[in-house]
Structure 1
Amino acid sequence: MYPGRLCSTLRDSGCDASTTHERGDTLMSKKIGWIGLGRMGEAMVTKLLKAGHAVHVWNRTASKAAHLAEYGAKIETNKIDLASCDVVFTMVSTTDDLKEVLFGPGGLVTGAKKPQVVVDSSSISQEGSAEIRAQLEGMGVGYLCTPVSGNAKVAKAGKLLTVSSGPKALYEQVEPYLQAMARKVMWVGEGELARIWKIAHNTMFGVIIQNLCEITVLAEKAGIPRNVFLESINDSVLGSMYTRYKTPVLSNLNFDQVTFTPKLLLKDMDLGMSAAKAHGVPMPSAAATRESIARMVGHGHDNVDFAILLQETANDAGLQIKPLNLQIPDGLSS
């Protein structure tokens, strides 16, 4: 079946006692495909290209892919042209988007030739992912869920975490490609468990930004300069990569530098609440955050960074906040 197919093609790269040098040569000879070049997809595929892998790319808006040719990418006109690849990565916005690029007209697996493995890094539902797995595996195509932690800036800095689920043998075969894009890679189990991980991760993501905005407005209204308060949080036991890389935008209010939109965050909060209902887990803080994010979306904040929640929170508190226009490190540069 699919793990065996991939293992047979990569057997010289780790399924037997071949040398590390031979393993590297074999990995580099494999043809990789990539579908979806949004902020995250573009950053991740650039890492693969810079690591020396041969990557064929397709994006709905072809102009977004053109510059990758400078790094050696082969730009494909049609999705189905990637079907001859050994491994195809996908990074799209929704479950429906993923179904469309795979099974829709001219989709990746709609022709006679099919890729050996699809590795999906989109944020989609557990149920939708299971449907896609059943369809792909029914065609003899391997399927691995591999969502990530981090935004495009994190990806460009080489500090992503990838978390995979699906057949363990399949994960072990694609692991070297994941390592080219991330600081750490993990396998959490079979089936769609990585989807649950991502849903839990992004639900926490929303709750943290909600609370961070609330306490930052509290501190500023009480008299602590915003940048000073954020610096203190970053250097406390509560500080994290997340709080550090959001500090520049929260200080300077440059919400036009988009990493993640309010609509996408709302989608993920809804996935979190749906999963909580399905598993019988009460999540009161997540529920309150979901309503706050929905309110922000209702105010028409579309093509801006979700950190505009700080402005919304300040408005609710009767506090007028202004950009500080400071040079503040985001903690991602080495």
Structure 2
Amino acid sequence: MTDATTTRVGWIGTGRMGAAMAARLADAGVDVTAWNRTIAKAEPLKEHGASLAESLGALRDRDVVFTMVSTASVLEKVLFGDDGLLTGDELPGVVIDSSTVSVESSAEVRRACAERGVAYLAAPVSGNPKVARAGALSLVVSGDRETYDQVAPLLERLGRSVTYVGEGETARLVKIAHNLMLGVVTQTLAEITVLAEKGGVQRHAFLEFLNDSVMGSAFTRYKSPAFVHLDYTPTFTPILLRKDFDLGLTAARALDVPMPVTALTAQLIQASVGTGRVDEDFAVLLDLQAAASGLRLEPEDVAVDDGLGRPS
């Protein structure tokens, strides 16, 4: 089993999520060197003790390299494109990808890594940057078991739970299924919240009751501040959620699984994209539901427990 504090880690992709995860490792005393296409986005990691790389090639001598990027095409580019991570003579031992990509794309990357003698793990995560900073991420991992056992101490520093689900791309299907539920639950939460408010119940009161009931969850609790304050600072955008629903419905067709509720939710997510509010958080589904219901929402100035150890 790898000693996390003596493992030299590279990190590719320091957007909102990647930066929060890389900071967790650096704060735990792991030797982290990060690269991002826009280097300024990686600068804050220096405050956590991480180093910055000016090129992908500078990460080739790392023991383990994490990738956290937006799409499969970006993943392929940073690994195999011009001066990509895996295009030199010296190569890292393991690549761990935490992006959300399709099963097929991940399998292609796995094959290309194997051809170069590089171990590859799929390790997508559940949570947003706020959750990552609180150390409350959940990770699901698939690939070679021996490789997983070697790097598990690193993965365990990223969140509160790590679940190994088998060989190949099984973690991808788990994460896609997870994000389908994310969208369906958020749409349902928007519908019932609007129903309650239009019936005369304040949003914060309804959500407080729901979160303390058997129907509440970690997700409904940490989404409640956005709903109460109408704060749509992006953690996950409608565009990214639409991508995941496309992946999920494609997988459902391939496996002959009917998903009528998911399909309807996909149309509602598409409607949110159609409004042009693509740079806000996907919690804007609440606004769309209110508009369809003839309800004008106003922010409520009430402190709300997000379940992550602090009110907001």
Fold match, TM over 0.5? yes
Cross-structure match for 1:295: 271
Distance 2:132 2:204 in 1: 25
Answer yes or no: is 1:134 the counterpart of 2:111: yes
Partner of 2:49: 72
Q: Which residue of structure 1 lines up, in the alignment, with residue 66 of structure 2?
A: 89
What secondary structure does 2:204 align onto? helix
Letter in 2 for 1:240: S
Work out which of the two has the higher radius of gyration on C-alpha atoms and give 1 or 2: 1
Aligned residue in 1 for 2:236: 260
Which structure 2 residue ranges, 5 or more long, are not aligned? none
State whether structure 2 residue 173 is matched by structure 1 residue 196. Answer: yes
Paired position in structure 1 for 2:197: 220
Partner of 2:78: 101
The whole-number CA distance in structure 1 between the counterparts of 2:48 and 2:190 is: 39
> Per-residue CA shift, 1:245-285, capped at 9, x if unaligned?
01011011011x21111100111111110110111100000
Q: 2:292 aligns with which of 285, 294, 316?
A: 316
Number of equivalent positions: 310
Counterpart check, 1:282 vs 2:258: yes
SS at match of 1:57: strand
Aligned match of 1:163 in 135, 140, 146?
Answer: 140
Does residue 116 (structure 1) correspond to residue 103 (structure 2)? The answer is: no
CA-CA distance at 1:42 after TM superposition:
0.7
Paired residue type of 1:302: V
Name 1:328's counterpart in structure 2: 304
| Residue type at the aligned position of 1:46 | A
Once the two structures are superposed, residues 176-216 of structure 1 have per-residue CA deviations (whole angstroms, 9 ceiling, x without a partner) of 00111111111000000000000000000000001000011
Q: Which amino acid aligns with 2:271?
A: R
Output the aligned Cα RMSD.
0.9
Q: Structure 1 stretches of 5 or more lacking a match?
A: 1-13, 15-22
Offset at residue 29 of structure 1 (A): 2.0
SS at match of 2:159: coil
CA distance in 2, matches of 1:71, 1:151: 19
CA separation in 2, counterparts of 1:205 and 1:30?
A: 34
Q: Does residue 1:146 correspond to 2:117, yes or no? A: no
* Separation (CA, whole Å) in 2 of partners of 1:202 and 1:254: 21
Identity of aligned residues (%): 51
Structure 1 residue 155: Cα displacement: 0.6
Aligned to 1:6: none
TM-score by length of 1: 0.91
Q: Distance in 2 between matches of 1:192 and 1:80?
A: 27
- Name the CA distance, whole Å, in 2 between partners of 1:322 and 1:66: 37
* Cα shift readout 1:30-74 (whole Å, capped 9, x = no counterpart): 210000011111111111001000001000110011121122211
Specify the alignment match of 2:248 in structure 1: 272
What stretches of structure 1 move > 2 A for 4+ residues in a row?
none
Say which SS state the counterpart of residue 84 (structure 1) adopts: coil
TM-score when normalising by structure 2: 0.98
